[in-house]
Amino acid sequence: MPAQKNILLVVIQENLNIITQSLYCLENQRHIKINEIVAITTALGKDLLLNGDVVNGYKAVIGANGVLEQFCKEYKREPPKVEIEVLKNRRGYLINDLVNPKSVKDSANSILSIFVNLLCSDNIQSSIKCCVN
């Protein structure tokens, strides 16, 4: 039987700090060790997570020297596995940004699909913690 795995599922757009804030709360206040993070976002959000935005003062969250890596060093923990899921419309095209009611509806359907796939994965010994901003 596989070991228990705790997954942080984060639906994120521009508040990139939600990942480290949620990780801090779960691990340091509730004593729940997170093994994996699944970030659900738009194509624009993925770019912000990976590259940041110098003009608007966003630092990259994921990757070498990203905010998550710095957080893990500060709290002396191994970085969790991170997976980024980009929202798709009903035709399967990536959603760049949430700009109208149709893109919002498509994103809701995509979030639900990602969540169901995560629940139905092979590792049924997982506990999923969710955070939406």
- pLDDT category at 127 given cuts 50, 70, 90 is low
pLDDT digits (tens, 9 = 90+) for 96-116: 988 889 888 998 999 989 888
pLDDT at residue 54 greater than cutoff 90: no
Report the distance separating Cα 23 and Cα 16, nearest Å. 12
- Reply yes or no on whether the pLDDT at 129 is more than 80: no
Q: Which domain holds residue 17?
A: 5-132
pLDDT > 70: what percent of the chain?
89
* Arithmetic mean of pLDDT over the chain: 86
Burial label, 63 (beta-carbon count in 10 A; 0-12, 13-18, 19+): middle
Give residue 49's pLDDT. Answer: 93
Q: Distance (Å, rounded) from C-alpha 32 to C-alpha 85?
A: 23
Q: How many structural domains comprise the chain?
A: 1
| The predicted structure's pLDDT at residue 86 | 96
pLDDT of residue 2: 55
- pLDDT tier at 7, thresholds 50, 70, 90: confident
